[in-house]
């Protein structure tokens, strides 16, 4: 009963820093488990320091060193004397030189080695580059070839447009010519009609004039008389 | 008190080897392991051996020419051996064989004896013409021959003593300054002890340069002395 209570309370407790009490069904020693998450290493150490860090954690190497030093000094296996000063000074100088001059020297060495490697791999790399350039050219050529469909369709459309244009031009020419001819015919007919009209008018005028020839005086005096009558009215 | 400073140069025999021979074996092993140069594209450590190779080769080429290239392996090994011993000796608690006069005199005397024997084999009795500089009046010949003979014999001693004196002087300086600083620290004068420690920092930097330079000077002089086996005057 109490074990179920403890398990329930343990589950309800906050996860960080929880110490869970696990008691199996059979009577045995209680086992404590620590659910505290382990710190994640971000130092990026390699070699012996990395190995120690993987096994003992971030502070493992330091704890080992300090503990070992404390043990050696306390047991008087290592006696602190004037040589210890030499250890400190020489160790410090070597550490400083490694930290200060190490990276530029290693960078110089790596660049030199890379140049040697490039010299040896010069022909090999040149061939690889040549092949890569050929691949790029081939891909560009393939891309250009893909455009031929578009070019053909453009040419086809261009031809169709030219044909259409020629057709319309000829159609327009035909229309113009026909219109011109029709206009000519129209004008001819107009002229004919004008001639006919003027001929008829002249004939009518001649007829009327011939008809009223010799009756001019009588007509005029009749008109005057009528006008007088009208004026009197 | 002064004797304590020289205790660091004591040769101690343990089981089979002395500390001196153990250090020399260690220097050879480290040189073989670290300075391996068999890669076509060098890594960082191979760059170091290539750098040493190129410089020693130029020294041998400048002083001995093409004929003297047979001495190049010897000079290169000599440089690496002495430089490695000197550099290893910079670390605390490590015995430095090249501070021992017996080691350096052994090497230098061997070299001078070899030069003499090689010179006699090559030039026979004409080898002794190096004791008479060219262009000197005959009146001064007796005195100059004596002086040149003494100079020739002292070469052996000076070559060895130079190396031993420089290295042992540096280590003695370390011992004195560190003793000084340790006494100050023991007396509670912590701030004051920074002065000798600061001087030790500069001495350390100097000793690092001296370690390499003395090896280079030893090899350069060896090369110059070997020149007498190739050409007289």
- % pLDDT > 70, chain A: 81
B174 and chain A in contact, CB less than 8 A:
yes
A82 and chain B in contact, CB less than 8 A:
yes
* Tokens 């450590």 found at: B45
Mind telling me how many Å the CA of B198 is from chain A's nearest CA? Answer: 8
Report the C-alpha dihedral over residues B169, B173, B176, B180, rounded to 10 degrees: 170
Q: What is the pLDDT of residue A19?
A: 46
Most confident of A58-62, A146-150, B210-214, B225-229: B210-214
Q: What is the pLDDT of residues A67-76, one digit of tens each?
A: 999 999 999 9
Instruction: Tally the C-alpha atoms within 13 A of residue A15's C-alpha that lie toward its C-beta.
Output: 1
Query: How high is the mean pLDDT of chain A?
Result: 84
- Sign of the four-CA dihedral A198, A202, A208, A212: positive
Backbone dihedral angles phi then psi of residue A39, each to the nearest 5 degrees = -65, 140
User: Tokens at residue A130, please?
Assistant: 């040549």
CB B36 within 8 A of CB B45: yes
Q: What is the pLDDT of residue A17?
A: 45
Where exactly are the structural domains of chain A? 1-19+43-78, 147-207
Higher pLDDT, residue B217 or A29: B217
Q: What is the pLDDT of residues A182-208, one digit of tens each?
A: 999 999 999 999 999 999 999 999 998
- Statement: residue A217 has pLDDT above 90: no
pLDDT band at B140 (very low <50, low <70, confident <90, very high): confident
B124 and chain A in contact, CB less than 8 A:
no
Q: What are the chain A neighbours of B93 within 8 Å (beta carbons)? A: 83, 87
Q: What is the pLDDT of residue A20?
A: 46
B2 and chain A in contact, CB less than 8 A:
no
Q: What is the pLDDT of residue A108?
A: 92
Considering only CB atoms, B91 lies closest to which of A84, A85, A90, namely A90
Bridge partners, residue A34, by sequence: A19
Q: What is the pLDDT of residue A29?
A: 66
A125 and chain B in contact, CB less than 8 A:
no
What is the average per-residue pLDDT within A101-129? 90
Contact A81 B47 (CB under 8 A): no
Contact B44 A106 (CB under 8 A): yes
- Sign of the four-CA dihedral A97, A100, A105, A110: positive
Could you tell me what percentage of chain B is helix, strand and coil, using 3-state DSSP and rounding each to the nearest 5?
80, 0, 15
Q: What is the pLDDT of residues B154-197, one digit of tens each?
A: 999 999 999 999 999 999 999 999 999 999 999 988 888 899 99
d(CA B211, CA B218): 11
- % pLDDT > 70, chain B: 98
Q: What are the chain B neighbours of A112 within 8 Å (beta carbons)? A: 47
Residue A80: helix, strand or coil by DSSP? coil
Q: What is the pLDDT of residue A146?
A: 85
Mutate which: A72, A85, A107, vs B, most B CBs within 10 A? A85
Contact B93 A83 (CB under 8 A): yes
- Statement: residue B7 has pLDDT above 80: no
Centroid of chain to Cα A142: 22
Residue B18: helix, strand or coil by DSSP? strand
- Statement: residue B233 has pLDDT above 80: no
Centroid of chain to Cα A228: 106
- Statement: residue B110 has pLDDT above 90: yes
Query: How high is the mean pLDDT of chain B?
Result: 90
Residue A34: helix, strand or coil by DSSP? strand
Question: A129: which residues sit within 8 A by CB, 6+ positions away?
Answer: none
How many Å is the maximal CA-CA distance in chain A? 179
d(CA A144, CA A147): 5
Q: What is the pLDDT of residues B71-108, one digit of tens each?
A: 999 999 999 999 999 999 999 889 999 999 999 999 99
Backbone dihedral angles phi then psi of residue A214, each to the nearest 5 degrees = 85, -10
Bridge partners, residue B18, by sequence: B13
B39 and chain A in contact, CB less than 8 A:
no
* Stated pTM of the model: 0.67
Bridge partners, residue B138, by sequence: none
Question: B8: which residues sit within 8 A by CB, 6+ positions away?
Answer: B95, B171, B175
Backbone dihedral angles phi then psi of residue A166, each to the nearest 5 degrees = -65, -40
Q: What is the pLDDT of residue B19?
A: 87
Mind telling me how many Å the CA of A83 is from chain B's nearest CA? Answer: 7
């Amino acid at each position: 009963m109490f074990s179920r209570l403890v398990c329930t309370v343990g589950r309800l407790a906050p996860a960080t820093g929880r110490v869970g009490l696990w008691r199996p069904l059979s009577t045995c020693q209680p086992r404590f488990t620590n659910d505290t998450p382990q710190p994640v290493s971000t130092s990026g150490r390699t070699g012996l320091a990395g190995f120690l860090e993987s096994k003992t954690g971030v502070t493992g190497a330091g704890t080992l060193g300090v503990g070992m030093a404390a043990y050696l000094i306390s047991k008087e296996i290592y006696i602190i004397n004037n040589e210890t000063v030499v250890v400190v000074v020489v160790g410090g100088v070597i550490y400083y030189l490694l930290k200060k001059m190490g990276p530029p020297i290693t960078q110089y060495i790596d660049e030199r080695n890379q140049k040697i490697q490039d010299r040896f791999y010069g022909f090999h790399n040149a061939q690889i580059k040549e092949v890569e350039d050929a691949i790029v050219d081939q891909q560009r050529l393939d891309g250009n070839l893909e455009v031929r469909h578009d070019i053909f369709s453009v040419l086809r459309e261009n031809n169709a447009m030219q044909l259409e244009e020629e057709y319309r031009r000829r159609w327009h020419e035909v229309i113009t010519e026909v219109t011109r001819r029709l206009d000519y015919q129209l004008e001819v007919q107009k002229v004919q009609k004008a001639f006919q009209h003027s001929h008829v008018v002249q004939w009518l005028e001649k007829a009327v004039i011939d008809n009223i020839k010799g009756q001019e005086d009588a007509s005029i005096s009749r008109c005057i008389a009528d006008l007088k009558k009208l004026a009197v009215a | 008190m002064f004797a304590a400073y020289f205790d660091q140069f004591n040769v101690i025999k343990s089981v089979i080897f002395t500390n001196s021979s153990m250090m020399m074996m260690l220097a050879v092993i480290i040189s073989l392991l670290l300075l391996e140069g068999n890669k076509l594209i060098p890594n960082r450590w191979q760059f170091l051996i290539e750098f040493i190779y190129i410089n020693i080769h130029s020294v041998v080429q400048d002083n001995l020419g093409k004929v003297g290239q047979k001495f190049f392996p010897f000079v290169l090994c000599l440089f690496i051996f002495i430089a490695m011993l000197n550099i290893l000796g910079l670390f605390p608690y490590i015995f430095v064989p090249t501070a021992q006069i017996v080691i350096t005199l052994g090497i230098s005397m061997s070299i001078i004896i070899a030069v003499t024997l090689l010179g006699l084999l090559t030039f026979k009795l004409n080898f002794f013409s190096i004791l008479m500089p060219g262009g000197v009046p005959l009146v001064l010949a007796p005195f100059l021959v004596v002086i040149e003979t003494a100079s020739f014999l002292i070469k052996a001693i000076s070559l060895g003593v130079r190396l031993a004196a420089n290295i042992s002087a540096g280590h003695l300086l370390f011992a004195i300054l560190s003793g000084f600083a340790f006494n100050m620290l023991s007396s509670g004068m912590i701030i004051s002890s920074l002065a000798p420690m600061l001087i030790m920092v500069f001495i350390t930097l100097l000793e690092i340069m001296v370690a390499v330079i003395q090896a280079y000077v030893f090899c350069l002089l060896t090369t110059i002395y070997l020149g007498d086996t190739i050409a007289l005057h």
